[in-house]
Amino acid sequence: MHPRKTCSSNTTLLFHLIHSTRLALSWTGTGELVYKAIVVPLIQTPRLILRGLGEDDIPFLFEHFGKNEINEYSADDNVKSLEEAKQLYVKYIAPTVNRFRLGLVLDGDLIGTVGFYGIDYENERAIVGADLMKEYWGRGLMTEALQALVDYGFEQMNLNRIEATSDPGNLRSIRLIERCGFRKEGLLRQRFYYKAAFHDDVMFSILKDDWRATRKSRPHLQK
């Protein structure tokens, strides 16, 4: 093996580890110091690679979150500049102890994002978020990505409950969530105020027990 290549790949691995793990310290009520780390995974699915997003991806975020169809059911306005994309990266994408977001890579190109936010270690739950460039809708790509993320959440993060929420009018989103085995729990009325109106929110969840049953209908995944 070429020594320089070995050195370079070790450096890359170290860089990846440093940048894919965030540590947080907190004191418990009894005075114990708790270390928590978030690992940003690298996941391969039949058609996609799901990888952590870094500052180099801000131009993609600018293009992606600048589109009406991505923000139609979101409280956020379209991103209008690289500076706004950087702010979005810091606010929603960069990993923290309670969230991580992965880019969907298809044939070398970023085409969307998926991830967990609101990770609650005490109650072993998290919320999913997902968005895909419109030209890739209708091919089952986000279903593939979301199922892989849910598998990761239950298998590797020891979650017990994963939540998804959607505007009731966002029918593609609702079909995606239900296709991935989430169950509707209820309508949270006028939960959000944005774009000069109150918006209802539909709450869905999948429990670890539901997921075990769902996996039986995905025989290629059974261990």
Q: Which residues bind ligand COA (CB under 6 A)?
A: 70, 73, 130-132, 137-143, 164, 166, 170, 172-173, 175-176
Phi (first) and psi of residue 82, to 5 degrees? -65, -35
DSSP 8-state assignment for residue 157: S
Q: Which is nearer to ligand COA, 16 or 172 (CB)?
A: 172
State the nearest-atom distance from the C-beta of 5 to ligand COA, in Å.
37
Q: How far is the CB of 78 from ligand COA (least distance, A)?
A: 12
Query: Are the beta carbons of 187 and 198 closer than 8 angstroms?
Result: no
Nearby residues of 43 by Cβ (< 8 Å), 6 or more positions away: 49, 50, 51, 102, 148, 149, 152
Yes or no: say if 41 and 152 are a contact pair by the CB < 8 Å rule: yes
- Is the separation of the CB atoms in 153 and 125 below 8 Å? no
Nearer to ligand COA, 93 or 176 (CB): 176
Least distance CB 81 / ligand COA (angstroms): 21
- Minimum CB distance to ligand COA smaller for 36 or for 179: 179
Element housing 176 (H / E)? helix 171-179
CA distances from 205 to 138, 160, 164 (A): 23, 10, 6
Q: Shortest approach of ligand COA to residue 23 CB, angstroms?
A: 29
User: Which CB sits closer to ligand COA, 38 or 132?
Assistant: 132
Residues 21, 44, 215, 130: what is their CA dihedral angle, to the nearest 10 degrees? 70
For the bound state, the minimum distance from the C-beta of residue 129 to ligand COA, rounded and expressed in Å, comes to 6
Nearest to 38 by CA among 120, 104, 114: 120
Position closest to ligand COA via CB:
140
Closer residue to ligand COA in complex, CB, 20/149: 149
CB of 215 vs ligand COA, minimal distance in Å: 16
Of 22 and 131, nearer to ligand COA (C-beta) is 131
